[in-house]
Each structure stands twice: as structure tokens, then as C-alpha cells.
Structure 1
């Protein structure tokens, strides 16, 4: 089998795995229910505090694309998406922002943890640093769209979304309906992962990437297009400065998005196999940052092929001791619960979040704000885990 970052995920944290992969790695079974229940019930999980000067506001949007039938469940009618909007806010305003809904949390745990006995509220009550309906700061800010990995809810990138916002970005964190464990809509119903286990070939995955690009472009239409925007604080967005980042499939989707939507000026792929290939003609000169974990075999050919074809600013970083989940909230959630991780994963959850935030923010500060970022020029003593490749 060709080594890819998707197949490498078979060694990643249990919570980050697609259902089909979980079944194939019984050695990563969850702790015995009797031993883990007491610990889990007393756990209070907290995301790392954002590092920027701005407080973080959050609002939830329900968007309906009347021009596009849902690609996975046509009988559902128009494509519907839930989006978390993060924005620089005035400190001390707004109310607590829950991590995720109870039903979405239960579905995620049931999908990812065989014999799940983890109390749902343990995940629901994860401490975030966002404030619901907080008063926005004055000004206009670059927009970054975030797309999560396949089977994972949008909340897996909350720590990254909050940190970007604290550094002066508006962030749109998108749930891709029927592609994750569960998405809860305003009427209370929660969709499930209809597409889990259905993508078999590189062509299937490329189609998924392309579908996500359409989701992202629709979100941008709703936020920045002509007419009345779907979000009440859309005036905060600087429409000339838009980027995209994502994890796994969400990172791979930056390629078709940048190829098809000229509004997206820069992209970040966090450990995603690029089945939608970068064409020989490149990405229209657009910059791409690729951050991944070390593979235990030959390098993912989709990354080497992409690297050779990129025609703009580019960096390829490898994080020593990381795994597929390092670039998300997942390790922060699972470590306090006592869930296992691969023995090759030596980086702490907090350090993984720190490095991901630091390099992603530096990239967008350079590409969307024009601020020089020496950290992107080569290895630094303060971050010995980072290798610049090739």
C-alpha cells in the first residue's frame, strides 16, 4: 500500500480515527469502563488559553445553499451547513460558549471510542475561551476559513480558531454535514456520519476535497458576497484578505479551494493527504504551508508531488514526536480521559497546540498582513521539534 497521511492515521490517537480504521487497530482499545469511569467523571478539560491581545467572541450560523442539492443525501434537499464565527471582541462581554452540543458530543464519542463509557458532559463542558454574542471590536480583520478532518466535528479546531481570533482574525469554522460524527442544527436535530466508510479510492477522496471547496466558497458567498450578508458582523471582514486552513481532509481541501476561488489568497494543510493534486501549473502563485507528522515509511507521494508543483511561496514542516491528531484539540481532550496514544507520539498535547498555533498564525500574518515572520525562514532553537523539508 502506498504510504499516505491518511493511512498513517491508523497509528494516531483513537479519537481521531475514522470508524473503519478504529476497527482495524484493536490494540488501541479504550480503557476498561470500570477503571476509567471514576477518572472521567471528575475531569475538567480546558483548552489552552489564546495567546493574542484580543478577547474572542463567537456566534453560530446556519447556512442553506438553495443552489446546491446536498451531495451526500440528495433527499435532504439543499446543502445545509453549520458555521462557528469567531471574531475579535471587547473583553468582559458575552456569555460562556459551550464546546459542542450534547448530542454531537455523544455521537463523536460513540463513533470513536469502542464500548464508549465516557460521560458526554465531560466533552460538552470543556472550557473554551470564547464568549457567545460578545460585543465586537472596531476595525476590519482578515478572514480565515477552517475545515476539520473527515469524521471529526468542527470543534476539533476550536483551540486554533480561538488563537487566530485573539491575534486579530475573523475565523469561520465549518462543519461539513454528513461527513462528521454529528452536526446539530437550530431545530435540535443532529445529522450523523452518513459518508463514514464510503470513500475507498483516491478518486473518492479527491471528490470529497472538491465538495468541501464548494462548501467553503458558499460560506464566503454568504459572508462577503453582494447583497445582505448572512452574518450580522460581516462588516468586520476585510474581503481582500482571505485565507483557508484545515486538518487532514480539511487541509487537503485547500488545494481545490485555492484553484477555484480567487478570494482565497493563502492556504495551510495540516497533515492532509492531497488526493486532489496540485496541477503541474501550480496554485496560481498562491502560498501554501504544509505541516505534518513524521511517517514511519516512505514519504506521502501526494506531498512530494505537490511540493514539486507549487509555484508560489511554500514551506513544508515536520513536527517531531507528533501524530495525525497533534494539530487539533483531540490530544487535549483524550489525555485527561486516560485514552491511549501511539508510543511514537512524544509531544505533549499543549506543545502540539502551541506549535500549530504559532506557525499557522505566523503564516497568515505574513501572507495576509504583510508582516515579516523570521520563524518561517528556517529552524529555530526555541522550536527544535520543527524540521523544514525537503
Structure 2
């Protein structure tokens, strides 16, 4: 089953992603008054929802960008220009008074409704998930010294689902751009309150997989333009080294990483976290790392990695994380455990989405190997984790297709 199919099936059985059916909309909307009231409601008691602390040495700053591509029509709403929300995580020189909100109360309300807790006394609870990023903190680093990593989330999932990964990379010295692909996420909210639901989530068009990937490829190149061009959208962009750009994606975001690597020469290395691929039409000579669950085993139910392997002619590795589910590589495993969602699922569905490995352990391993890959391919550092099995992470095995 391809990535879009897997995400759609998950939306039917997995309460976290059922939000696709709840929030799917055919237009950008201003959120109704009931959700606006949620914004004004009193904070909930401490629910204990917090992301794991970053493992690097640097403080982490964060800012959000609203980017409008005036040259391109939106692929899902051709009457409007393509508009994207982006979160930047980066090494910071000092703390500020505020930590980054994990998501908006409006998006949280929709997610909680999809999880069967719509009667919660505080539907904005996910906006209170503790992050480790200081809003608009001063960037740290000499001009032109920080590598840049683009992050693309899974189909139907918002950019916030990769916050723990983004924060960790930033604490290790990277500038990280998490991209919301408008109309492809359960919800994207703009600063003026407009709210975009997911247009293709309920579609049965067999061509939507390719359309999503092609559109994301354009999105990511546009974001790269706006961060490294002559007039960057971020005031701190001077610390970025535009010659050292990488990209990682989860699920269909991983397929977008490979597609972008093929068409944008500025991207030097790519990484796929458990995403079905469209086999390349020509050889890909730049480094590419595959990290996946048993679905991508040998044998596995998804043969797209084996079909793509021969065309990856540069440095490449195929890693399997034993006991992983599709959402192990994101924040959602931890949050679902914290909210008690996983316990409400049938065992097979819980294993497919969250795996049998503990969510904290799975996320820790994911962050370690993603960092090792970019340390090696963007910084030229030694990365022992990529040379073979590790005693510290015995759950990782290296696959070598015939």
C-alpha cells in the first residue's frame, strides 16, 4: 500500500489521524466562534504532555513564517496563490520569555475531537504541549556557517508532528525548516485566523500520490528560495550555509525528499522516514538514507524501496527499526500515549501505527540516526552509527538488497 493509502487507512482506524475526516474542507475558512472561545478558555491542569529535551549543546530558538508564492497557483485551489506556513528551529544565543506553542488551540480542538474527546473541558490541550524552543530568540552562529535541513511531514499531518526532531537538530547546530503543505494537512492555520483543511485526504484519485509529491517538491524548492535567496524571508538567515542543505521527510514527506533531491541541485542529501517512494526515473547520485519499520523489511508489504534501490547510485543505506510503527518516527507516539489514545485502539491497529517499541525509545533512535546522517553528509564528520550495528541501538539493523 502506498503512503497515501497507508495514511488514509490510518485515518479510518487511528484516532489521531481521523482528524482528516473532521477537518477536511474545500476552502480556507475562518474558524467558528466555538473554537475561538477555546482560545480564550483557561489553561488546563498540567497534562504532563511534553516533548523530550533536545540532546545537543545549543539553546533552541523558533520563529514562524507565512510565505506566499505569488508565481504559483495552489495545486489544490488554483484560484489562489500557493501559501505555506513554516516553522524555523535554530541554535539560539539566549532565552526569551516564551516557548513555542506546539500548535494552535483551533487545530488542537479538531484533533481532540477526532480522538473522541470532543467534550474535553479544554479542547486546546495540545497547544499546551511543552516544547523546548524559545520564540524569536536571537540566532547564534557566525554568518554562513549553519547547515540547513528541510522537514516535510506525513500525508495529513501538520508540521508540528516533527517538532521533536526539528528541535534536536537545531540543538546540534542546524537551522531546520518544518513545512506545512497547505490543503495536505489535517489543518493549517494562518496568522490572520484562516484555516485550511485537507482537500485530497478523502480522494480516491490514483494520481493523487504523484500530485502530492510533485507539489511538495515545488513547495520545498520555494521555501529554500525564500531562506537562501537575495532577500530572505527570515531576518536571521545570514547564519545559513546555502551550500550545505539537506532534507528529511516522514511518510509521503520522505518520497518528497527523494523527488526534491532529483530536481533541486541545492539539496545535497536526503532521508526517508518510513515513506513509500516513487522509483526515480534516473539515477540519484547524492546520499540517501532509508529508515523504516517492518513494512519496509525484506520481505515487506511495501516493495518501493527495493524498486528504487538500484537507482540510488550514490552513498546509500537501508535501516530497519525493529518494533517500529508508522508513527514511531514522529511526535504522535508520545502524545498518543500521554492522552491514553493508544490504549483505546485494537492491538493490531496500535502495533501498525505505534509499533511495539516504546515511543520515547523509538523517537530517541530516530533523532540519533537522522543527526548522524546529516553530520556525515553536510558537515563531513565521522558517523559510526552509519557504519554498522551499534550496541547502543540494537534495534537498528542494516539491510542489503540483492
Give the TM-score category using the shorter length: 0.7 to 0.9
Structure 1 residue 212 displacement after superposition: 0.1
Deviates more, 1:313-322 or 1:112-121: 112-121
Correspondence for 1:27: none
Aligned to 1:331: 333
In structure 2, the residue matched to 1:171 is 176
User: Are residues 230 and 361 of structure 1, via their aligned partners in 2, closer, same or farther at CA, if it must alter by over 3 Å?
Assistant: same
Give the match for residue 29 of structure 1.
Answer: none
3-state SS of the aligned residue for 1:136?
A: coil
1:379 match: secondary structure: coil
Query: Is 1:184–2:185 an aligned residue pair?
Result: no
C-alpha distance in 2, partners of 1:117/1:358?
38
State the Cα distance separating 1:282 from its structure 2 match: 1.4
8 Å CA contact retained: 1:146, 1:173: yes
Q: Over residues 81-130 of structure 1, what are the superposed CA-to-partner deviations in whole Å (9 max), with x where a residue is unaligned?
A: 000011100243352211111112223333x4256445422211000000
Q: Structure 1 regions of 5+ residues with no counterpart?
A: 21-39
TM-score (norm 1): 0.88
Tell me, yes or no, if the aligned pair for 2:273 and 2:329 is still in contact at 8 Å: yes
3-state secondary structure, aligned to 1:160: helix
**Cα gap change, 1:135 to 1:13, in 2 (>3 Å):** same
Q: How far apart are the structure 2 equivalents of 1:17 and 1:54?
A: 36
Contact 1:85 1:170 in 2 (8 A): yes
3-state SS of the aligned residue for 1:363?
helix
**Contact 2:106–2:124, Cα closer than 8 Å, also in 1:** no
1:366 CA displacement = 0.2
> Structure 1 residues 176-185 or 297-306, which shifts more?
297-306
> Within the alignment, does 1:291 sit opposite 2:291 as a pair?
yes
In the alignment, structure 1 residue 321 sits paired with structure 2 residue 316 = no
Query: How far apart, in 2, do the equivalents of 1:373 and 1:243 lie?
Result: 16
2: CA distance between counterparts of 1:5 and 1:218? 23
Secondary structure at 1:85 match in 2: strand
1:114–1:278 CA distance, 2 compared to 1 (3 A): farther
Structure 1 residue 71 corresponds to structure 2 residue 75: yes
Conserved? CA contact 1:44–1:122, under 8 Å:
no
- Residue of structure 1 equivalent to 2:391: 381
Q: Distance in 1 between matches of 2:213 and 2:179?
A: 14
Deviations 1:170-221 (A, max 9, x none): 00110000111111111111111122112542x3201211110000000011
Quick one: structure 1 residues 348 and 329, their matched pair in 2 at CA, closer, same or farther if it must change by over 3 Å?
same
Distance 1:87 1:125, change over 3 A: same
For these two proteins, the number of residue pairs brought into alignment is: 363
Match of 2:255 in 1: 252
Conserved in 2, the CA contact under 8 Å of 1:99 and 1:124?
A: yes
In 1: Cα distance, 2:3 partner to 2:197 partner: 25
Question: Residue 37 of structure 1 aligns with which residue?
Answer: none
Flag the structure with more relative contact order, 1 or 2, with Cα contacts below 8 A and sequence separation at least 6: 1
Once the 2 structures are TM-superposed, how far is the Cα of residue 74 of structure 1 from its aligned partner?
1.6
Q: Tell me if structure 1 keeps the 8 A contact 2:4–2:155.
A: no
**Correspondence for 1:310:** 312
8 A contact 2:66–2:85 mirrored in 1: yes
Q: Deviations over 1:285-335 (max 9, x none)?
A: 111111111129734111111112211111111111110000000011110
Q: Does 1:57 align with 2:61?
A: yes
Q: Which residue of 2 aligns with 1:215?
A: 219
* 8 Å contact kept, 2:15–2:116: no
Task: Name the TM-score, length of structure 2 as normaliser.
Answer: 0.85
Secondary structure of 1:74's match? coil
Between 4-13 and 189-198, report the one with greater CA deviation.
Answer: 4-13
Task: Map 1:1-390 onto structure 2 (within 5 A).
Answer: 3-4=1-2, 7=5, 10=9, 14-16=15-17, 19=20, 43-75=47-79, 77-110=80-113, 112-114=114-116, 116-118=118-120, 119-139=122-142, 140-201=145-206, 203-225=207-229, 227-274=230-277, 276-279=278-281, 281-283=282-284, 285-295=285-295, 298-340=300-342, 342-343=350-351, 345-390=355-400
- Higher mean Cα deviation, 154-163 or 184-193? 184-193
CA distance in 2, matches of 1:353, 1:53: 19
Specify every segment of 5 or more residues in structure 2 that has no aligned partner in the other structure, as ranges. Answer: 22-43
Contact 2:258-2:271 within 8 A present in 1 as well: no
Q: Distance in 2 between matches of 1:8 and 1:82?
A: 25
Matched position secondary structure for 2:200: coil
8 Å contact from structure 1 (residues 317, 387) kept in 2: yes
